[in-house]
Amino acid sequence: MFIRRSSRPSTAADQTDSPGPSPSTRGPRRRRARTHRARTTGGALLAVAAMLVSACSSGSATTAAGSAVEPALAPLPKAVPAALASYYAQKPRWRGCGVPGFECATLKAPLDYAHPADGDVRLAVARKKATGPGKRLGSLLVNPGGPGSSAIGYLQAYAGIGYPAQVRARYDMVAVDPRGVARSEPVECLDGRDMDRYTQTDITPDDERETTQLVDAYKKFAEGCGADSPKLLRHVSTIETAQDMDIVRAALGDARLNYVGASYGTFLGATYAGLFPARAGRLVLDGAMDPSQPSRRMNLDQTAGFETAFQSFAKDCVQQPDCPLGTKGTKTAEAGRKLKAFFEKLDARPIPTGDADGRKLGESLATTGVIAAMYDEGAWAQLREALTSAMDENDGAGLLVLSDSYYERDAEGRYANLMFANAAVNCLDLPAAFDTPDEVHRSLPAFEKASPVFGKGLAWASLNCAYWPVRATGEPRRIEAKGAAPIVVVGTTRDPATPYRWARALSGQLSSARLLTYEGDGHTAYGRGSSCIDSTINAYLLRGTPPRDGKRCS
């Protein structure tokens, strides 16, 4: 699935070693540094799109009308199994961790919950204690999505200082890097030079030779992951990470888990509620995913989501004096054709970027750069400037900055483990969207109909998990979480990475869901400038008052 993120991509000046690109300002709405990503498998375009997975799950039931209905996720027993008692009895030993005001600790979880005696995985945890005034409400876990984004990096760079003051006053703000991510035994696959080559692989093959090159790139990526983390790679599923969260909850001394998850973080939070409904506290799922969909369907939905976002960008762009895609009166379809023609030109002849490592801007990096800017309308001005430089001045530097921010590549050519963990989790959670290049070929018309601009590349990017060294252990499932307290599900109507229909679908599955809608652009809604959204969620977190189901904000 695609990486989800609700922030503008960072500029060169913004880039740091922290896990996650960052923020933005545009128009009347203030943007803040975030790293919410929509689930992806692969590496930006190669990672910008290999989304969820598969076509139908083997366990589907069937309605009287003959349509498939995915089975529901079954809750785990309320009592903690004796074999896990020692994990639940842990007490974190907090220490300073280099960022003023934050404390860090390490907890253990079983590598394999089915066989706890087979070894442990170490989980990095960070917190910023409630500042007061007011009665402490417990811990509030945050997760920015991915899968693969560092929750600790997000906490230290944004949530721990940028969440509303009244929320930070009443809650200990807490983050745990999921197993395989950042500080929690990170999955590694390729070094910087190999990742540079990987991200430049042609993602729209025109013939058998180029198809073979793409397949070889996927295989090399998968082999690198398998060689580095052969045991861990079998145990980085969302279900296992949700179980880890319950151990963290117990270690923090909380009877219930309070949680704000964005993008993929909504899938993680919903999974927790499905497994532990009685221990689900105040849960906010922002930029929701639909866990019942097979990956091919989800990839197609997300492809259409990026097309919707591009049309919104194009409509705005042609009203601006510096738009390289047209002028006032230019139809969005024509703007799309112009951009696609530019991509095809780059496919044949990449352009200079001034990069110290000699990278040129080809179709794959350019497409990734454009898609990265679709996550936040605050990045539209930056994208217009980058496209103008590339299309009119033969200078690809601006689009390369956008692409690098998406991949979390720093100025020294080092990559965060985001893309590695992203593929590891996605390819384990669900079967591959496509098993062979021939299957991709047959699906190209549907993907190109969903997005004339991005469809071909996103279809081919969905082939990534076909060559993964570990067989998927998950399947599409509805999540009902019967008995859970009210859960707030947030959807944005023109969200590119987690289409609004997914929020409606998840809210229809969760037995206690309250759907909160933001009518607007960008990925996720909380903390992105809507006073209506923010005040509604704050009231829920602080007073336990959920919104009425179906409330809409703009």
Distance between CA atoms of residues 398 and 243, nearest Å: 42
Which residues, in sequence order, are CB contacts of 363 under 8 Å at separation 6+? 202, 203, 204, 343, 344, 346, 347, 350, 457
Calpha distance 417→107 (Å, rounded): 21
Tokens of 174: 């807490």
Choose among 219, 298, 247, 262: nearest CA to 468: 219
Q: How far apart are CA 23 and CA 384, in angstroms?
A: 17
- Side chain identity at residue 465, one-letter code: C
CB count within 10 Å of CB 322 equals 10
Question: In 10 A of CB 386, how many CB atoms?
Answer: 27
Q: Which runs of consecutive H residues, i.e. helices, occur in 451-497?
A: 455-461
Map residue 29 onto helix, strand or coil. strand
Contacts of 385 (CB under 8 A, 6+ apart): 322, 398
- Whether 523 is a known active-site residue: answer yes
| Cβ neighbours of residue 545 closer than 8 Å, sequence gap 6 or more | 539
Residues 13 and 158: their CA atoms lie apart, in Å, by 17
* Peptide bond just before 546 cis, omega within 30 deg: no
196 is catalytic: no
Q: Which of 495, 512, 521, 534 is catalytic?
A: 495
Q: 356 burial class (0-12, 13-18, 19+ CB within 10 angstroms)?
A: exposed
Name residue 125's beta-bridge partners. 105, 176
CA 497, distance to chain mean position in Å, is 8
- Distance between CA 111 and CA 93 in Å, rounded? 21
Residue entry with tokens 């995985």: 121
At 115 the three-state DSSP class reads coil
- The residue annotated as part of the active site, out of 6, 149, 263, 295, is 263
According to the 3-state scheme, what is the secondary structure of 1-12? CCCCCCCCCCCC
Q: Which of 389, 403, 523, 530 is catalytic?
A: 523
Active site residue 263: yes
Cα angle value 284/286/287 (rounded, 5°): 155
Beta strands 171-176 and 257-262: pairing type? unpaired
User: Catalytic amino acids?
Assistant: 263, 495, 523
